Copies of this chain bind each other. A is one copy, B any other.
Amino acid sequence: MAPVTYERGPVLTPRAQDFPRWYQDVVDKAELADNGPVRGTMVIRPYGYALWERVQAEVDARIKRAGAENVYLPLLIPESYLQREAEHVEGFSPELAVVTHAGGKELPEPLVVRPTSETVFGESMARWIQGHRDLPLLLNQWANVVRWELRPRLFLRTTEFLWQEGHTAHATRADASAYARRIHLQVYRDFFHDVLALPVHVGLKTARERFAGAVNTLACEAMMGDGKALQVATSHEMGQNFATAFDIRYADADGGRPLCWTTSWGLSTRVVGGLVMGHGDDRGLVVPPALAPTQVVVVVVKEDEASLGAARRIQEQLSAAGVRVKVDRRTDQGFGRRVTGWELKGVPVRLEVGPRDVGEGVVTLVRRNSGERRRPTLEAVASLVPALLQQVQGDLLQRGRQRLRDRTADVSSVPEAAEAARTGFGRIPWRTLGVDGEAELARNAVTVRCLQRPDGSLPEADDEDDLVAVVARSY
């Protein structure tokens, strides 16, 4: 399908011509975000933030169903706190932003702007956990973090980003492991499939790719429109490493004070970048209805009484049916320009209401994902839309699955794996690839995204027989 031009000419660089440039164009023209005054930071505009608020609402509801409670920990952390953590993970040092002056003078000890809150979580959990009744302790935080970024890209890699960061403590390894898997599958994978309509590979990271200090890192890896992988969420089993660093213990029934087993897990504003690259096309964003802040826009063609009345009635009926609907009555602006704007923003369904339509008792309905147009009657439209939104949601997930299948090759050698990763994902037996093959691929910027069982499910550990490595280039 040719890009929509109307009176303005194409507004986006075609994806096939220059994917990174197309991405930047969408972020700009769909008014998602601008660059902030400090390199690598972003000004998230109303539409970009509305998408993030919808991500937050859906993920937060799932986190709460999994029993975790939200907290808020401080932005500024004494530099000495990060030393403690440095005993079990490599320091963040080049990533850190450091406050040396405050209150009009130099501070006796520098403060770090949190790159994560894990040190304060560790210290707080050690204080809050007394006995076994306090376990499991299931906490989460929504906050901003700062990690100095040398090659920033809006949403994908920014110096400051927004995320949620869960930390939990358990009495047994089995309980910690089960909870990390519960979050990974019932919060993250569920969100990506059912809301974002992005199929994800789930699996374990290899030792090379694992989070420092974790005994297992579980990843969700999605395929973007250019065949590259985007890691959209990770969950870590920390074993007793984190509990050791922060002395997180509990009094058990026998009078002992054993260490807890902990997990951590996160998802960030990077997901908005995944939405753009996972579903977008040459006309802009394509937002799945389950996520869309605006599911239906009613575009009033001309400011006549009949059109306005019809638009208002449709809005009332759809709102009453639980549809997120907006009326665009900016008739002092060109119709084509407004339509281009709504297509750029990826609103799933557009209803065009003009005097001719209303005269004929119909409305023009356009599906954003397929461009398909129909002209249902004014009476039928309200009952038709909710089912249509569900169908669009299903079609997007289906299309994502199809792309994942079409662009994933089962291969049996390192060169074949490298070749597969030029256009998509490769799946290769882990015992065929091995750490040497992994290192060889890495020299060409191809990485093992995750290890999974042959049926695609999550392994218990990375030493299971028959594991398959999913390899790809990645963001």
Contact = CB atoms under 8 A, between A and B. Distances in A.
A9 interface: no
A70 B50 contact: yes
A385 interface: no
Can you tell how many copies of this chain the complex includes?
Answer: 2
Contacts of A101: 96-98, 100, 110
Contact of A103 (B76, B94, B103, B128): B94
A444 interface: no
Interface string A251-262: 000000000000
Nearest to A31: B128
Interface stretch (A143-151, A389-397, A399-407, A413-421): A143-151
A102 B148 CA distance: 7
B36 A73 contact: yes
Contacts of A332: 133
Given A103-B150, A330-B133, A71 B98 contact: no
A53 interface: yes
B98 A102 contact: yes
Given A38-B111, A97-B111, A74 B160 contact: yes
A43 B160 contact: no
A27 B249 CA distance: 25
Contact of A43 (B52, B93, B120): B120
Contacts of A104: 93-94, 148
Contacts of A45: 71, 128
B120 A36 contact: yes
B34 A124 contact: yes
Interface in A73-102: 73-78, 81, 93-102
Contact of A74 (B36, B74, B77): B36
A140 to B, nearest CB: 9
A146 B75 contact: yes
A39 B66 CA distance: 33
Interface string A34-50: 10111001111110011
A214 interface: no
Interface of A: 34, 36-38, 41-46, 49-50, 52-53, 69-78, 81, 93-104, 110-111, 113, 120, 123-124, 127-128, 133, 139, 143-144, 146, 148, 150, 159-160, 162, 330, 332-333
